[in-house]
Chain A
Amino acid sequence: MKLLYFAWVRERIGLTDETVEPPAHIGTVGDLLGWLRTRGEGYEAALVEPEAIRVALDHDHAEHDASIVGIREVALFPPMTGG
Chain B
Amino acid sequence: MALIRTAVTDAPLDLAGEFAGVSNGRADVGAVVTFTGLCRDEDGRLEALELEHYPGMAEAEITRIATLAAERWDVQALTVLHRYGKVTPGEAIVLVVAASSHRHAAFEAAEFVMDFLKTHAPFWKKEHALDGSTAGWVEARIADDEAEARWNKDA
Cβ-defined contact, B137 with A82, below 8 A: no
**How long is the Cα–Cα vector from A80 to B54 in the complex, in angstroms?**
11
Report whether A80 and B118 are in contact in the complex, using a CB–CB cutoff of 8 Å: yes
CB distance from B100 to the nearest CB of A (A): 22
B37, B54, B119: which contacts A56 (Cβ < 8 A)? B54
Q: How many A-B residue pairs have CB under 8 A?
A: 68
Q: Which chain B residues lie closer than 8 Å to A42 at the CB level?
A: none
From residue 31 to 83 of chain A, which have CB atoms closer than 8 A to chain B?
56, 59, 61, 75, 77-83
Surface stretch bound by A, among B16-24, B67-75, B121-129 = B121-129
CB distance from A83 to the nearest CB of B (A): 4
- Contact between chains at A61 and B139 (CB < 8 Å): no
Q: With CB as the reference atom, state the residue of chain A lying closest to B142.
A: A79
Cβ of A7 < 8 Å from any Cβ of B?
yes
Q: Which residues of B are found within 8 Å of A6, using beta-carbon distances? A: 52, 54, 122, 124
Bound together, the chains give a CA A56 to CA B121 distance in angstroms of 11
Given that A4-B54, A59-B57 are contacting pairs, would A80 and B119 also be in contact in the complex, using a CB cutoff of 8 Å?
A: yes
A75-B54 Cα distance, complex, nearest whole Å: 9
Q: Is B25 an interface residue (CB 8 A)?
A: no
Main secondary structure of the interface of B (DSSP, over half): mixed
Range of interface residues on B (Cβ < 8 Å): 20 to 34
Contact between chains at B52 and A83 (CB < 8 Å): no
Give chain B residues whose Cβ lies under 8 Å from the Cβ of A75. Answer: 54, 57, 122
Contact of B123 with A80 in the complex, beta carbons under 8 Å: yes
- Tell me the bound Cα distance from A5 to B140 in angstroms: 17
B→A interface (CB under 8 Å) = 37, 51-54, 56-58, 60-61, 82, 93-94, 114, 117-126, 137-140
18 further A-B contacts with Cβ under 8 Å, apart from A4-B54, A82-B123, are: A6-B124, A56-B57, A59-B56, A59-B61, A75-B122, A77-B54, A77-B124, A78-B137, A78-B140, A79-B140, A80-B119, A80-B123, A81-B118, A81-B124, A82-B53, A82-B94, A83-B121, A83-B123
